[in-house]
Amino acid sequence: MNMPDPTPPDPAKPAAPSDAVAQALSLAIHRHRIAPGTKLGEDELAEIYGVSRTVIRAALQSLAHLRLVDIRRNRGAFVAQPSRQEAREVFEARELLEPRTARSAAAHAKPADIARLKRHIADEHAALAAADNGRAVHLSGLFHVEIARIAGQGTIAGFVETLIARSSLIVALYWHRESALCERHAHDALLRAIEQGDGPRAEDLMRSHLVDLHSALDLSHRSAPARSLKEALET
């Protein structure tokens, strides 16, 4: 969760090696290159990234704090696997929070904000056209996070970002139909409402959009593809 920091990091200062590894692994998880339940072996990751096991251990602890990784005593680290109950709770929470953030975003959006949202949609459409569904899911989540940030509600934006991170894992596990990806028209309509400053419409569109995403998941079974860690991270 990205919370306001009273002492922002110096942009000239390079990221710690563990932060760089954590960011790379987080992106691979969000883009579904690494399936939920995949074992994240310290030795294998150290070889892949060319760092020490101490660096890998710190990166995994960081991802565990974000609930993207589960660290199990005497067994190691694994990409998190949200349960069916958690999947329901995550989407129910999003359905409570995000419609109101969409309404607020419509009241606060500036031209630069609208331009960023348009770039998100363009990138998402390009990923879908290239059949890169994992990247499309990741970009879709960033679109929703950006709306929460535009709303100017830092605490809620942090909650939304965490929920969306879990949503990416949930989609990977409980994929049912392609509309589990945010549909092109849903995001386009949301953007228009926000750009026009129409808060009530933005709220209604976000609510119906999230209900549709929830219904696109099949919570009766898990369907995560099997892939080796080395193959996933080096291709």
CATH number at residue 55: 1.10.10.10
Domain count, the chain: 2
CB 104 within 8 A of CB 88: no
Shared domain for 132 and 157, answered yes or no, is yes
Full residue range of the structural domain in which residue 58 is found: 17-80
Shared domain for 198 and 123, answered yes or no, is yes
CB 20 within 8 A of CB 56: no
Percent of the chain with pLDDT over 90: 46
Per-residue model confidence as pLDDT tens digits over 171-200: 878 866 555 455 567 899 999 999 999 999
Shared domain for 207 and 153, answered yes or no, is yes
CB 43 within 8 A of CB 53: yes
Supply 186's token pair.
């849903």
DSSP-assigned beta bridge partners for residue 76: 72
More confident residue, 233 or 73: 73
Shared domain for 102 and 194, answered yes or no, is yes
The candidate with the shortest Cα–Cα distance to 60, out of 46, 52, 71, 51, is: 71
Shared domain for 101 and 165, answered yes or no, is yes
* pLDDT confidence bin for 1, thresholds 50/70/90: very low
Asked whether residue 9 is assigned to any structural domain, the reply reads no
pLDDT at 23: 87
Average pLDDT of the chain? 84
Largest separation between any pair of C-alpha atoms in the chain: 55
CB 134 within 8 A of CB 33: yes
Shared domain for 146 and 47, answered yes or no, is no
Shared domain for 95 and 184, answered yes or no, is yes
Region 61-70: mean pLDDT is 90
Q: pTM for the whole thing?
A: 0.74
The candidate with the shortest Cα–Cα distance to 38, out of 229, 170, 231, 234, is: 229
Shared domain for 56 and 95, answered yes or no, is no
Total residues belonging to the chain: 235
CB 138 within 8 A of CB 168: yes
